[in-house]
Amino acid sequence: MNKSAFIREFAAIVGVAESELTPAFVLSNSAAWDSMGKMAALTLIDTDAKIEVPFNFINTCKTFGDVLTLVEPQLVGE
Amino acid sequence: MILDIESFLPAGRLDNLTLAQDLQRWTPEEIFRKTGIQTRSIAREDETVVDLSANAANALLSRHSGRRIDFLILCTQTGDYKTPGSASILHGRLGLPQSCGAFDIGLACSGYIYGLALSRALLSSGMAKSVLLINGDTYTHYIHPKDHVCRPLFGDGAAATLLTSDSVAQFVEFELGSEGKEALKMLIPAGGERRRKFNITSESSPQDPEFLQMDGPEIYNFTLRTVPSAVATCMAKAGCSIADIDFFVFHQANGYMLEALRRKIGIPTQKFPVCLECTGNLVSASIPVALTQMRRAGQVHHGVRTLLCGFGIGLSWGACIVDW
């Protein structure tokens, strides 16, 4: 999965426009960042992007940038 | 099969002099004559069966540092929590590997013999080369200070037994039995399902400690990480692949998680029953309930090969292949 596709899918999960999903975006500002939202994000990262997520990672992510620190090095292309 | 045994007694003591003063019923000498007991080992208020068991187990394992433990069985009736089982917590405390299964058995005074029988079954079947059997309880936490019947009798402690397939001491025979009709002759009436110790009121909150707490995303993450691997390992051990399995019957946790697992493992939809629509998550009953429905529907019958996989609290997982 490339970075553009990841951002597009993640934006859909948190219910914001792609342009709003900057590294500084605070995840808890989105009403969709609840238990189901986190599980959807885990599916995107683990199953679709095939990136293993460490235990307790998703709960410690405060911003989209925190998510990118894990996934960006393993995404293929822009 | 018994290679080694170790025990741990907490430091607290209750002697007959103190007991006589508390109960105001007998002299210390009378207590000894009635019970044969001079002093009892007593766990602190904050000392639990996992604490006692960890002490016993660590002392034992320090003598067998190179030994891999395949199963941890904890026999207790005074576990740390209603759920998860205390064996799971002890597994983490002891730093045992993920390949080590861990479960509680809920028996009391006959529990060592039952534990030995289970251990022998695991060893004899070849499912394990070593089993760490722990027996422990903190009964004194459930005895009223004025109880003149129970308080003179019970103490707290734990023991760890290491059983291996290559040790010299061998079991010759077992004799086990039950008389369930008399089960309520010795019990703690409240705290279980028959008499819960809490009520849901308008002031209750889902975060109150009496209620089930679940970190959904972390459980989901754990499931995505461990279940595909367990399924793959189980199939590899059996020398088969997805094509050789007729049905993958998983613990019916929730529809979203099941679909994610199906996609990740690559199981065709027609081989992956989802049966929780009318029942919800039935915990350990979910797989056999699903199998019951599939048998009634004629899907599971002689000649069918199924892979069953359960996962969840512990955190723990298990998979097996059944040829019907």
What ipTM was assigned to the predicted interfaces of this complex?
A: 0.81
pLDDT at B151: 92
With 0-12 / 13-18 / 19 or more C-beta atoms within 10 angstroms meaning exposed / middle / buried, residue A27 is buried
| pLDDT at residue B208 tops 90 | no
| pLDDT greater than 80 at residue B320 | yes
What is chain B's mean pLDDT, rounded? 93
Closest approach of chain A CAs to the CA of B216, in angstroms? 6
* Predicted pLDDT at A54: 86
Cα A15 to the center of its chain, rounded Å: 12
How far apart are the C-alpha atoms of B93 and B313, rounded to whole Å? 16
- What pLDDT does B236 receive? 96
- B94 φ, ψ (degrees, to nearest 5): -85, -10
Residue B207, pLDDT score: 86
- pLDDT more than 90, % of chain B: 77
Q: How far is A12 from chain B (nearest CA, A)?
A: 17
Instruction: Quote the DSSP letter at residue B40.
Output: E
Cβ within 8 Å of A, B 67-86: none
φ, ψ of residue B81 in degrees (nearest 5)? -140, 160
Tell me: cis bond preceding B209? Omega within 30 of 0 counts: no
| B76 to A5, B80, B140, B219, B315: CA distances (angstroms) | 52, 10, 13, 26, 19
pLDDT tens-digit readout, B282-315:
998 999 999 999 999 999 999 999 999 999 998 8
**What's at B324, amino acid-wise?**
W
pLDDT tens for each residue of A25-50: 999 999 999 888 999 999 999 988 98
- Average pLDDT score over residue span A16-29: 94
Residue A78 has pLDDT above 80, yes or no: no
The pTM of the full predicted model, rounded to 2 decimals, is 0.85
How many residues in total does chain B contain?
324
CB contact under 8 A, B221 and A52: no
pLDDT surpasses 90 at B69: yes
* CA gap B217, B185 in Å, rounded: 43
Q: What is the pLDDT of residues B214-236, one digit of tens each?
A: 888 889 999 998 999 999 999 99
Q: Is A56 left (phi over 0), alpha (psi -120 to 50) or beta?
A: left
Which residue of A lies nearest to B214 if distances are taken between CA atoms? A35
How far is A53 from A70, CA to CA, in rounded Å? 8
What is the per-residue pLDDT across B20-49, written as a single tens digit (0 to 9) for each? Answer: 999 999 999 999 998 999 999 999 999 999
Angle at B107 between CA B101 and CA B110, to 5 degrees: 115
Mean pLDDT value of segment B109-131: 94
Give the chain B residue nearest A50 (alpha carbons).
B264
Say whether B221 and A58 touch across the interface (CB within 8 A): yes
Helix (H) or strand (E) segment spanning residue B15: strand B12-15
